[in-house]
Amino acid sequence: MTLADTSTTAPDLIARRAVGRSLEAPFYTSRDFFDLDIAAIFGAHWIFVATDAELPEPGDYRSVALGPHSVIIVRDDDANLRSFHNVCRHRGSRVLDQERGSVGNIVCGYHKWTYGLDGTLLHAPSQPPDFDPACFGLKPVHVRSVAGLVFVCLAEQPPTDFVDVAGRIEPYLLPHRLREAKVAAQVDLVEEGNWKLAMENNRECYHCDGHPELLRSFFPTYGYTEDNLPPRLRPAHERYLRVDAELRQTCEQLGLPYQLIEELDTRTTGFRIQRDPLDLAGESFTADGTAACRRLLGDFPTPRLGHLSLHLQPNAWFHFVSDHAITFSALPLAPDRTLLRATWLVHPEAVPGVDYDPDTLLKVWTATNEQDAELVARAQRGVSSPAYEPGPYAPTEYQVEAFCNWYITRLRAHLRR
């Protein structure tokens, strides 16, 4: 007998999800859904985990936690990316215990089992004659880079439509030459909320009044249409229309694609990409909108390129401006804890203190992320109340609805299997 009302199962909740409304509480609070999200979402889709810039040389590696999984991404001697489960085939010890580093071979720190950069077990001391090293290579994980962004997929059969998505977004990304870029900073922030609340927070600007630093250069009209634009945003919208026309002209001249593609919930690899203008100087995410770094990415002839914005399901978003790029990913730690990782990339030869002031470069999004962490924690506390019931998304929150719709669609597909 159950004392609390736990008779509603996860499949019931998935089946009855109301379109246009936030999810029921267990999606955000229960261990069952956390485990399901790891299996059905993070274990079955292409997940952004790093940038090529984080592993420039052969032997460079990153280890990344995807829920209970730990994944190694390493550059092999042919400069190709490889990925493996970070689990020794001997007694299961974590092989590499640091988040990043550089190695010749991959040596487990417990009993020195030694794997090549291709995962082959090269040496396991003191084994009996019938021991076959070929049976004990590191378990491989699918990995690929798209224009400098590194993705892994834990599934045996990764979603095939990723190839198409990669082909659609590469023309937008390649001019920023991220593969050549270097990491200026990486900041991890633990948000006290479910990863989906972190994503829902990202997918709308309905709450942007809480981001004074961001709103200097970012148009607060984001997500609104002529139909639902609040009157107070009308002047900003007029300004947006004017600089958007300019931006389109610049893009045409430079051959930069800028058209919106929005397929957030109509495919397995949901995504959205668009180049949009910025306010004030229109160059970058700074207090006056001017570039934060003198050296531009990709040797662009002008810094005034707005921001190329990429949203990827399930857990990543990106802003590419002329002078730097920022990647964001929301990595689930627990039902009510999420790691938000932000990485700033600049021109490979940009010198801190000379070409850019790191404080200026990081300021807007560091402040914005911290503000969002407060909001996500507050949302988590709220939905944990038994009095919570799903409420309606406003039209300007259509991307939040698209996220939830994509998510529910993927869970249903998982349960059918």
Contact positions vs its own copies (CB under 8 A): 1, 3-4, 9-11, 22, 25, 32-33, 35-36, 39, 43, 68-70, 85-95, 97, 109-112, 124-128, 131, 136, 139, 200, 206-207, 209-210, 224, 228-230, 375, 378-379, 381-396
State the minimum distance, in angstroms, from the CB of residue 357 to its own copies. Answer: 32
- Rounded to a whole number of angstroms, the minimum distance from the CB of residue 66 to its own copies is 10
- Measured from the CB atom, the residue of 111 and 248 that comes closer to its own copies is 111
Nearer to its own copies, 354 or 387 (CB): 387
Q: C-beta of 368: minimal distance to its own copies in Å?
A: 15
Minimum CB distance to its own copies smaller for 94 or for 248: 94
Nearer to its own copies by Cβ, of 126 and 157: the residue is: 126
CA end-to-end span of the chain, whole Å?
30
Shortest Å, Cβ 90 to its own copies: 5
Task: Pull the structure tokens for residue 225.
Answer: 């249409």
| Rounded distance between C-alpha atoms, residue 102 and residue 110, angstroms | 18
> Is 80 or 384 the residue whose CB approaches its own copies more closely?
384
Return d(Cα 101, Cα 98) in angstroms, integer. 7
Nearer Cβ to its own copies (25/291): 25
Residue 384 Cβ vs its own copies, minimum distance, rounded to whole Å: 5
- Residue nearer to its own copies on the CB measure, 41 or 166: 41
Provide φ and ψ at 347, rounded to 5°.
-55, 140
Count Cβ atoms below 10 Å from residue 177 Cβ, excluding itself: 18
Among all chains, which residue has been given the structure tokens 């810039």?
53
Question: Do you know the residue count of the chain?
Answer: 417
Measuring CA to CA, how many Å separate 38 from each of 41, 65, 273, 282, 333?
Answer: 6, 11, 26, 39, 10
Q: Which of 179, 170, 162, 152 is nearest to 325 (CA)?
A: 179
Question: Which of 235, 352 has the CB closer to its own copies?
Answer: 235
| C-alpha angle 87-93-99 in degrees, rounded to nearest 5 | 70
Count CA within 13 A, CB hemisphere, residue 159.
23
Cβ 80 to its own copies shortest distance, Å: 21
CB 289 within 8 A of CB 283: yes
* Contact (Cβ atoms closer than 8 angstroms) between residue 210 and residue 375: yes
Nearest distance in Å: CB 385, its own copies: 5
**Least Å distance between CB 36 and its own copies?**
5
Instruction: State the nearest-atom distance from the C-beta of 255 to its own copies, in Å.
Output: 36
Instruction: Specify the long-range contacts of residues 333-336, CB closer than 8 Å, at least 24 apart.
Output: 333/65, 333/67, 333/190, 334/34, 335/28, 335/29, 335/30, 335/31, 335/33, 335/34, 335/194, 336/28, 336/29, 336/192, 336/193, 336/194, 336/380, 336/384
- Give how far the C-alpha of residue 182 lies from the chain's centroid of Cα atoms, to the nearest Å: 18
**Residue closer to its own copies (CB basis): 128 or 255:** 128
